[in-house]
A = this chain, B = another copy of it.
Amino acid sequence: MSRTLIVAGAQTGPIAPDESRRHVVGRLIELLRAAHARGAKLVVFPELVLTTFFPRYWMEDQAEIDAWFESEMPNAATMPLFDEAVRLGMGFTLGYAELVREGGRTRHFNTSILVDAHGKIIGRYRKVHLPGHSDNLGDVPYQHLEKKYFEPGDLGFPVWRAFDANLGMAICNDRRWPETYRVMGLQDVEVVMLGYNTPLRGPLPRQYDHLADFHNKLSMQAGAYQNSCYVVGVAKGGLEDNCDLLAGSIICAPSGEIIAQAMTAGDEVITAALDLDLCRINKEAVFNFAAHRRIEHYGLISSRTGAVPPGE
């Protein structure tokens, strides 16, 4: 009997700087209901979806910074989303800024949680590959200060057995790194769920800004193919406080093919019925890791951080 999981990607349009979490959660609930109407059991929401993408702002006051974070989850603002999902019998992933007291200090992470159909948080991922910078670029249209406001994730790339599937999570820039998918592939992942906020233009002019959509798809399609898993990539899109965000949410099959794709840069649900057994085809053939991988030659990947030219 084939295992089929209907998933939804719930893309959102822009979130204004002054838009309240309660208002955002109302939008997410609408998307959740639309996904339910299309048979979805599991909904993927974008990265940092409860507020505008605040790492574009230079801030120095820690209280002002911390106001963008959630110190508990669920909380008063998000509880209605949890309640509605339980009522509908649906699970979801949610991206938000996590503030946590651990080991006697306050820590800040760019986090995604996996919530089961009973409203229970059963998985937590903290973004490993933080893009951008930590210094003040000054007179630019917007900045990208993830390296200032977040610590790199400390939980690795776990895979959970839930919804009768092997599920993993990643966030935004993680999707460009083959290591992200491979560490989960080595845990037999079948569905990678990831949200993103990707400015179409950087703070300073960049050579490849015009290729943002191509690079987005290339990264996720390659990750899906090379690990024989589904990838559900879900954007926040549109013009958010004068920053144009890439939309282009897609669902990729284990073949690397795109099987669902958003048409707008606004609030929009895409769905696909994932035949999880399709993952086995290449996991047992061209990407049978046990038969073909040669770890004796991969040492540099986990022992060397930066590139070193030959002879140096």
B306-A289 in contact (CB<8A): yes
- Given contacts A160-B310, A218-B222, A222-B222, is CB(A178)–CB(B182) below 8 Å? yes
Total copies of the chain: 2
Q: Which of B183, B214, B215, B288 contacts A301 (CB 8 A)?
A: B183
Which A residues are closer than 8 A to B by beta carbons? Answer: 128-131, 152-153, 156-161, 166, 173, 176-179, 182-183, 185-188, 206-208, 211, 214-215, 218-219, 221-222, 225-226, 255-257, 278, 281-283, 285-295, 297-311
Could you name 30 residue pairs across A and B whose Cβ atoms are closer than 8 Å?
A128-B297, A130-B292, A152-B294, A156-B297, A161-B310, A173-B292, A177-B226, A177-B292, A179-B297, A183-B297, A183-B298, A183-B300, A185-B307, A186-B304, A187-B307, A188-B309, A188-B310, A207-B255, A207-B278, A208-B282, A211-B256, A211-B257, A215-B225, A221-B222, A283-B307, A291-B306, A293-B305, A293-B306, A295-B303, A302-B303
15 additional A-B residue pairs with CB within 8 Å, beyond A186-B301, A291-B306, A298-B301: A128-B294, A130-B292, A173-B286, A177-B226, A182-B301, A183-B298, A185-B307, A186-B308, A188-B307, A188-B309, A207-B255, A218-B256, A290-B307, A295-B305, A299-B302
